[in-house]
A = this chain, B = another copy of it.
Amino acid sequence: MAKSKKFVYYFGDGRAEGKGTMKELLGGKGAGLAEMTNAGVPVPPGFTITTEVCSLYYKNNRRVPARVDSEMVAALRRVEKSLGKRLGDPADPLLVSVRSGAKFSMPGMMDTILNLGLNDETVKGLIEKTGNERFAFDSYRRFIQMFGNVVLEIDKNEFERLLEMKKEEKGARLDTELSAADLADLVGQYKKLVREKTGKDFPQAPMKQLELARNAVFRSWQNQRAITYRKLNDIPDHIGTAVNVQTMVFGNMGDDSATGVGFTRNPSTGEKEFYGEFLTNAQGEDVVAGIRTPHPITALGREMPAVYKQLRSITSRLEQHYRDVQDFEFTVEKGKLYMLQTRTGKRTAQAAVNIAVQMVKEKLITKEEALMRLDPQQIDQLLHPVIDPKAKIKVVAKGLPASPGAATGKAVFTADEAAQRGETEKVILVRLETVPDDIHGMDAAQGILTSRGGMTSHAAVVARGMGKPCVAGCEEIKVDEKGKKFTIGETVVKAGDWVTLDGATGRVILGQVPTIEPELTGSFSELMSWADKIRSLKVRANADIPHDAKVARDFGAEGIGLCRTEHMFFAAERLPHMVEMILAETEADRKSALDKLLPMQKSDFKGLFKVMKGFPVTIRLLDPPLHEFLPKRENLMVEVNTLKAKGGDPKTLAEKEKLLARVEELHEFNPMLGLRGCRLGITMPEITEMQTRAIFEAACELYKEDKVKVVPEVMIPLVGHVNEFKQQKAIVEKVAHEEMKKHGVKLDYLVGTMIELPRAAVTADEIAREAEFFSFGTNDLTQTTFGFSRDDAAKFLKVYTDKGILPKDPFVTIDQGGVGELVKMGVAKGRQARKNIKVGLCGEHGGDPASVEFCHGVGLNYVSCSPYRVPIARLAAAQAVIKGKSKHAYTTK
């Protein structure tokens, strides 16, 4: 940031020193006030102290440079001149508000002080001028309370307690029932409280009040609330806040005064209607506080027709001016309308879509702008059921929002039980963590809840793939799988109890809660068609079975980028053959087990090819370590030793011991870095042969039956050295030719590889000389580049993001500085060796907007993500193109 010469920007009388584009320097609010002033909108005059001063404040050991003070005084003088009032003038005091305002809106996170300028003298002037003693003392009381809390850091409840006592004393139910005398007395009590707590008198000098209030606003940038909000909303810490000092106007000066808030369009539905509410003779906070019920804004038209007309005209102009829905605040003081704030209106995902499309039709914005108006993350809401916002719910715990959507069902604690009960009733599978052989239970459940694991744990990844709600890593709950219950503090939830999950927020709710199905409006598909025309990056889906492929197609996927063949082996009727294959002691036994699996795999592929008719299908050969298919080693050890201790059946014992022996042989310290991926196919080439045979038999038969020509893309996983690839490619080509010859069918096919190890990225040129396509497996690449086990990192990653060591969970959004550098290197080296090599990315990052933008930027041909995130990726890919084209700073914030 270049050092600015000016620290304070004045606005008022139809002219402002700043303007709307200066959000970085003046904050959103300050820029808006300047813009409105310049546009001739009636705005109470004031000035903005820049965000640079905030940086200086922190650099300068929490002090504001003296030059700022002098600029501030000068600006204040202009305000005073404009209004003919002076701060601290006992006869006709100027009162001001002091508010924060950062580049990005952070509603309620930082502090505000109203009615500044009041003291024991000026309050008298206010009474004189307004003729309203009650109003004046109430304003003074409120000022002391806000100042006391915000600037002097006295607990808010201390003031509230005095107020309550006064109300009790007077038998008052509402604040408004207190008289001017009561309030004057309360002012005295408040001042006494300030003296007690701070050892000093409440500052009477208005300039002193102003300096202290300004500094307190800067200080509030670093309060815990604000820090947390920024982290949650990806707002950088360094940008700082501006401070806006603005003349107070009062909506509570009689029945010709009013205050209100509104939107230029309905923020829930997107409908084009003037939307909002107001109260006559009230202050802004009364509207928000809900003590009096505000009226719909249309009623203002009846009560103050001229003001209403002016307001509609101003807000329409503001919408036209900003070319987006405005969220505004206004006050009417004695018949005169003041606009206090205008900003881009926040809206629901559905409203966002409708408004964007509507505005294109109104020719207010372009299609590109419409696309940029949407937050791809937000539209995820539209693709899953949500909890009925009207429902009363009891949230008992919060975990990670691992897979969006709402689900209700009875708690079950084993995959088998889920599979069994799930046939006739709705169940939620609750586990410490899930493992691959829980897949049938996950499939049968409405949703999944785990107490361990992160956003990319097994449960999370599989659930997202299935489009099923999942709350993962919910550490507050203690799961007792054997006891079939979980507890949160004193609350015990047993098997069969109703539980509801909100996968979009991570909430765990007791009982049955009504959910609302998503509605894919016409506007949504219209928008997506615009996105498709703009984007250059293709979007594929990760899908293993025909059902998922169907969903993917319906969501607009242009192929399958990752079919994980191992998921097929976990099905109940197949697992025994898989186990037989693994336990085989000779190659012949292994082949015989594989022969039984062959027809099953073939029929899977045939089903997939049929659904994806005309689109490419990338099939990854067997990837996970074999022990994932076997019982857990430690459980077997316990079983064997318990059997021994109890003197159990010797035959069972012998069988278990034999199984344990094989499991021991396969045991690995770090299975993630062990015998998996192409290492399986290299040490047991029969597996590669069987899988290839299944692929090509399926493709050949389909061609003969339906004349559908499929282009299978056979993908070798976990290649680190080109020789691994060569060896596996030779097997694939041999079997492919055998099958094509046998069936008399000639098919085009590709043999390519995952790039998911740093070594593969570093030697991508060598590999590209052999491989016909690359698919970056950034899940594994992130694991090895960082040395983070996805299953174990949740614990310390939380500490890392909390302490700001990592800006983001790198399993959610690709780490551009490290993993991304390797991806870039891989693409560059790959294309250098094979100019037209097809390069994609499959895995979790394929559905993350920031990562999709990165993929577009480095020139990938496609991303592949879970079927339910395909629309998100399509939108993000279009936005990436638009961002790339635009020289202006588009932003989705």
Chain A contributes a number of interface residues (CB within 8 A of B) equal to: 59
Q: A720: which B residues are within 8 A, CB to CB?
A: 785-788, 818
Whole-angstrom distance between the alpha carbons of A806 and B645 in the complex? 47
Q: A682 an interface residue at 8 Å Cβ cutoff?
A: yes
Which of A645, A668, A670 gathers most chain B CB within 10 Å? A670
Q: A819 an interface residue at 8 Å Cβ cutoff?
A: yes
Q: A888 an interface residue at 8 Å Cβ cutoff?
A: no
A682 touches B805 (CB 8 A): yes
A732 vs chain B, min Cβ distance (A): 16
Instruction: Identify which of B727, B762, B793 contacts A803 (C-beta below 8 A).
Output: B727
Q: A670: which B residues are within 8 A, CB to CB?
A: 670-673, 789, 791-792
Instruction: Identify which of B637, B759, B792 contacts A786 (C-beta below 8 A).
Output: B759
Q: A132 an interface residue at 8 Å Cβ cutoff?
A: no
A858 vs chain B, min Cβ distance (A): 15
Q: A804: which B residues are within 8 A, CB to CB?
A: 723
Q: A130 an interface residue at 8 Å Cβ cutoff?
A: no
B787 touches A718 (CB 8 A): yes
Q: A634 an interface residue at 8 Å Cβ cutoff?
A: yes
B818 touches A763 (CB 8 A): yes
Q: A679: which B residues are within 8 A, CB to CB?
A: 796
Q: A718: which B residues are within 8 A, CB to CB?
A: 787
Whole-angstrom distance between the alpha carbons of A304 and B641 in the complex? 80
Q: A784 an interface residue at 8 Å Cβ cutoff?
A: yes
Instruction: Identify which of B757, B766, B789, B805 contacts A724 (C-beta below 8 A).
Output: B805
Q: A675 an interface residue at 8 Å Cβ cutoff?
A: yes
Output the nearest chain B residue to A725 by Cβ-Cβ distance.
B805
Q: A727: which B residues are within 8 A, CB to CB?
A: 803, 805
A805 touches B721 (CB 8 A): yes
Which of A644, A763, A796 gathers most chain B CB within 10 Å? A796
> CB-defined interface of A740-770 with B at 8 Å, one 1/0 digit per residue?
0000000000000000111100110010000
List residues of chain A with CB under 8 Å of any chain B CB.
Answer: 633-634, 637-638, 641-642, 644-646, 668-675, 677, 679, 682-683, 718, 720-721, 723-724, 727, 756-759, 762-763, 766, 780, 783-789, 791-793, 795-796, 799-800, 803-806, 815, 817-819, 821-822
Whole-angstrom distance between the alpha carbons of A818 and B766 in the complex? 11
Which of A633, A642, A720, A806 gathers most chain B CB within 10 Å? A720
Whole-angstrom distance between the alpha carbons of A822 and B677 in the complex? 23
9 examples of A-B residue contacts, CB within 8 angstroms: A638-B638, A668-B792, A673-B788, A677-B787, A682-B796, A683-B799, A757-B786, A759-B815, A759-B819
Whole-angstrom distance between the alpha carbons of A674 and B793 in the complex? 6
B724 touches A796 (CB 8 A): no
Output the nearest chain B residue to A726 by Cβ-Cβ distance.
B805
B803 touches A682 (CB 8 A): yes
Whole-angstrom distance between the alpha carbons of A584 and B799 in the complex? 19
Output the nearest chain B residue to A798 by Cβ-Cβ distance.
B683
A784 touches B796 (CB 8 A): no
What 14 additional pairs, Cβ within 8 angstroms, besides A633-B634, A758-B758?
Answer: A641-B641, A641-B642, A642-B645, A645-B645, A645-B646, A670-B791, A673-B788, A720-B787, A721-B786, A723-B805, A723-B806, A727-B805, A762-B817, A784-B787
A854 vs chain B, min Cβ distance (A): 15
Given contacts A637-B634, A669-B791, A791-B670, contact A784 B805 (CB under 8 A): no
Q: A646: which B residues are within 8 A, CB to CB?
A: 645-646
Q: A792: which B residues are within 8 A, CB to CB?
A: 668-671, 673-675
Whole-angstrom distance between the alpha carbons of A793 and B679 in the complex? 10
Whole-angstrom distance between the alpha carbons of A785 and B760 in the complex? 8
Closest 8 CB pairs of A and B: A673-B789, A670-B789, A759-B818, A758-B758, A634-B634, A645-B645, A674-B792, A668-B792
A669 touches B789 (CB 8 A): yes
Whole-angstrom distance between the alpha carbons of A724 and B670 in the complex? 24
A758 touches B785 (CB 8 A): yes
A626 vs chain B, min Cβ distance (A): 12
Whole-angstrom distance between the alpha carbons of A634 and B644 in the complex? 16
Output the nearest chain B residue to A632 by Cβ-Cβ distance.
B634
Whole-angstrom distance between the alpha carbons of A800 and B817 in the complex? 33
Given contacts A757-B785, A758-B785, contact A766 B817 (CB under 8 A): yes
Which of A638, A642, A644, A817 gathers most chain B CB within 10 Å? A638
Whole-angstrom distance between the alpha carbons of A783 and B815 in the complex? 20
Output the nearest chain B residue to A648 by Cβ-Cβ distance.
B645
B821 touches A762 (CB 8 A): yes
A818 touches B641 (CB 8 A): no
B785 touches A759 (CB 8 A): yes
Whole-angstrom distance between the alpha carbons of A800 and B642 in the complex? 40
Whole-angstrom distance between the alpha carbons of A642 and B668 in the complex? 24
Q: A803: which B residues are within 8 A, CB to CB?
A: 682, 727
Output the nearest chain B residue to A787 by Cβ-Cβ distance.
B757
Whole-angstrom distance between the alpha carbons of A800 and B818 in the complex? 29
Q: A723: which B residues are within 8 A, CB to CB?
A: 804-806
Whole-angstrom distance between the alpha carbons of A721 and B679 in the complex? 30
Q: A675: which B residues are within 8 A, CB to CB?
A: 792, 795-796
Q: A672: which B residues are within 8 A, CB to CB?
A: 669-670, 673, 787, 789
Q: A789: which B residues are within 8 A, CB to CB?
A: 668-670, 672-674
Which of A645, A669, A674, A822 gathers most chain B CB within 10 Å? A669
Whole-angstrom distance between the alpha carbons of A155 and B722 in the complex? 39
Given contacts A783-B673, A791-B669, contact A817 B758 (CB under 8 A): no
Whole-angstrom distance between the alpha carbons of A823 and B817 in the complex? 17
Whole-angstrom distance between the alpha carbons of A671 and B793 in the complex? 10
Output the nearest chain B residue to A724 by Cβ-Cβ distance.
B805
Whole-angstrom distance between the alpha carbons of A723 and B799 in the complex? 13
Q: A641: which B residues are within 8 A, CB to CB?
A: 638, 641-642, 645
